[in-house]
């Protein structure tokens, strides 16, 4: 893993908002919880578009959310089986939407969780640009300066990795970081406040 950053998004870029999870600690569907009057999933989608994604989809979640949020939606192919299934679904769906796996080598998918409402376009674009600048890497992962640990979301992924991730899920893997075991990745440092997620109502205050 190496630190990298860049400024130009890859030629073909799409976005995915992962909406899995039960939202038990929040007490409401996190995708629809509003921050500054906008549902969190819609805020994430807007950040993905600002980063250059020409198509953004919801992955998983209630089917009614597509109309509520004004976004295309694809069902999680492995519902309730953990974040790796949502990630694999996002990559496979991107390939299918943009022409199939034979056309996937230059297709990059920006993936973020629906409960990361403080993401912004420049931060997400830096992930995509870092991956574009590292042809040997399969993904560009976010990392927080304080500890440098890789975070599964947000991240930029090569869509061609979809079948490999699907095989991992079918083999019993559930953790998102299983997708990056023993494969080359690049890390991009992003501010903790930007990548913060919301698990509980008190997390909606970024000062908490």
Locate the DSSP E strands across the chain. 2-3, 12-18, 34-35, 38-39, 56-59, 72-74, 107-113, 139-143, 150-158, 185-189
User: How far is the C-alpha of 87 from the C-alpha of 104, rounded, in Å?
Assistant: 16
User: How far is the C-alpha of 1 from the C-alpha of 82, rounded, in Å?
Assistant: 24
Q: What is the pLDDT of residue 103?
A: 56
Q: What is the pLDDT of residue 9?
A: 46
What Cα–Cα distance (Å) separates residue 138 from each residue in 42, 92, 116?
Answer: 27, 15, 23
What Cα–Cα distance (Å) separates residue 201 from each residue in 8, 44, 66?
Answer: 36, 18, 24
More reliable by pLDDT, 186 or 203:
186
The percent of residues in the chain predicted with pLDDT above 90, rounded, is 74
User: Of 58-62, 152-156, 166-170, 200-204, which gets the smallest average pLDDT?
Assistant: 200-204
Q: Report pLDDT digits (tens) over 80-127.
A: 888 999 999 999 999 887 765 555 678 999 999 999 999 999 999 999
8 Å CB contact between 85 and 79: yes
Q: What average pLDDT does the segment 30-36 reach?
A: 92
User: How far is the C-alpha of 183 from the C-alpha of 34, rounded, in Å?
Assistant: 37
What is the domain partition of the chain in residue ranges? 2-204
Q: What is the pLDDT of residue 207?
A: 45
Q: Is the pTM of this model over 0.75?
A: yes
Q: Is 164 helix (H, G, I), strand (E, B) or coil?
A: helix
Taking only Cα atoms into account, the Rg of the chain, rounded to an integer number of angstroms, comes to 15
Give the mean pLDDT of the chain.
88
More reliable by pLDDT, 123 or 8:
123
- Backbone phi, psi, residue 12, to 5°: -125, 115
The number of residues in the chain equals: 208
Q: Report pLDDT digits (tens) over 39-55.
A: 999 999 999 999 999 99
Q: What is the pLDDT of residue 99?
A: 62
- Partners of 157 in the beta sheet? 109, 139
At 58, is the pLDDT very low, low, confident or very high (cuts 50, 70, 90)?
A: very high
Q: What average pLDDT does the segment 190-196 reach?
A: 94
Q: Is the pLDDT of residue 1 over 60?
A: no
Q: What average pLDDT does the segment 180-203 reach?
A: 91
* Cα 172-176-178 angle, rounded to 5 deg: 60
Q: What is the pLDDT of residue 97?
A: 78
Q: Report pLDDT digits (tens) over 120-164.
A: 999 999 999 999 999 999 999 999 988 878 999 999 999 999 999
Domain 2-204 fold is: Spore Coat Polysaccharide Biosynthesis Protein SpsA; Chain A (3.90.550)
- Partners of 187 in the beta sheet? 3, 141
């Amino acid at each position: 893993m190496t630190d990298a950053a860049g400024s130009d998004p890859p030629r073909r870029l799409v976005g995915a908002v992962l909406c899995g999870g039960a939202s038990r600690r929040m007490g409401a569907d996190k995708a629809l919880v509003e921050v500054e009057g906008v549902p969190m999933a819609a805020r994430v989608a807007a950040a993905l578009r600002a980063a250059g994604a020409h198509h953004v989809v919801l992955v998983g979640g209630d089917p009614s959310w597509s109309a509520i949020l004004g976004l295309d939606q694809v069902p999680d192919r492995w519902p309730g089986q953990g974040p790796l299934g949502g990630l694999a679904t996002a990559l496979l769906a991107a390939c299918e939407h943009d022409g199939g796996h034979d056309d996937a080598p230059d297709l990059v998918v920006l993936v973020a969780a629906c409960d990361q409402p403080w993401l912004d376009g420049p931060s997400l674009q830096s992930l995509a640009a870092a991956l574009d600048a590292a042809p040997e890497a399969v993904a560009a992962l976010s990392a927080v300066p304080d500890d440098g640990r890789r975070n599964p979301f947000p991240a930029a992924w090569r869509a061609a990795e979809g079948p490999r991730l699907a095989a991992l899920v079918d083999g019993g893997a559930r953790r998102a970081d299983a997708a990056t075991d023993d494969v080359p990745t690049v890390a991009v440092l992003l501010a903790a406040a930007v990548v913060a997620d919301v698990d509980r109502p008190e997390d909606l205050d970024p000062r908490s």
